[in-house]
Amino acid sequence: MSARAISREPAAAERLLPRRRGDSGTLRAMLEKDLRSGRWQEGERLPTERELCVQYRVARNTVRRALEALEQGKLITRHVGRGTFKSSNSPSAPTDPFHIDSIEAFSPADVIECRLFFEPGLVPLVVVRATKADLDRMSECLKQAEASGSLQEFERWDAALHDAIAVATHNHAAISMSRSLARVRQQAQWGMLKARSMTPERKAKLQAEHRGIVAAFRNRDQGAAHRLLRDHLVHVRTYMFGESSPGLQSLI
């Protein structure tokens, strides 16, 4: 990824960090916050030192000092020639105000209805803030879902795509809320509903919808992305649960 591309698509944190050298403590704190909040998954590779220099507007030795501190704190691991990765045993944030302890309290139908209001609302943030890495992650989810050989695998990459969209907001509250809602996929009832209604034709239609959503994000087309994501969620709700609730269509 070129420095020019990165500068066009800054992370939210980039806009907050002043242009100065030697502030490794500030950079370490910002990276630690992103690591703990789930911006990167366990085992996922972080941007290169050069990319971090551009994103956070600091000198390379500042990046190296910040990474050394994170490595000492066991938040990351670094491998010569391979890159820097989030540690598999990296501790999470101590508390998550949006964490749902009992997902059984929420029905899949209620969660889908909630997502119809919530997820399209993320679109403006994604259009403005998504980096090339965020968009590439979405494309990788599309690729893996296309290659999936089972409903369980397809469902995993479907969920990963929606998570990647939330992550691209670079808003920690939005990411946390999205992941709490996504936990309903762990319910056996969700799997049975999906298995009952999934066909090869429906899978192909879902994939086409996903491709359209990601293409709209790449084109920074807010209107199209909002419409396509909303229509996709309406489609999922309809094929899983039947017709929409009275009045719902007039509200979304």
Taken in order of first residue, the domains within the chain and their CATH numbers are 3-86 (1.10.10.10), 103-241 (1.20.120.530)
> Mutual orientation of helices 132-147 and 151-167 as an angle, nearest 10°?
170
pTM (predicted TM-score):
0.59
Give residue 28's identity as a one-letter amino acid code: R
Q: How confident is the model at residue 137 (pLDDT cuts 50, 70, 90)?
A: very high
pLDDT of residue 18: 45
For residue 218, what are its two tokens?
Answer: 């790449």
Q: What are the tens digits of pLDDT across the range 59-88?
A: 889 899 889 988 888 889 988 888 899 987
For residue 9, what are its two tokens?
Answer: 């698509």
Q: Cα–Cα distance between 179 and 205 in angstroms, integer?
A: 24
Q: How many CB atoms lie within 10 A of CB 98?
A: 14
Q: Is 118 exposed, middle or buried (0-12, 13-18, 19+ CB in 10 A)?
A: middle
pLDDT of residue 94: 45
Give residue 83's identity as a one-letter amino acid code: G
Give the distance between the most distant pair of CA atoms in the chain. 59
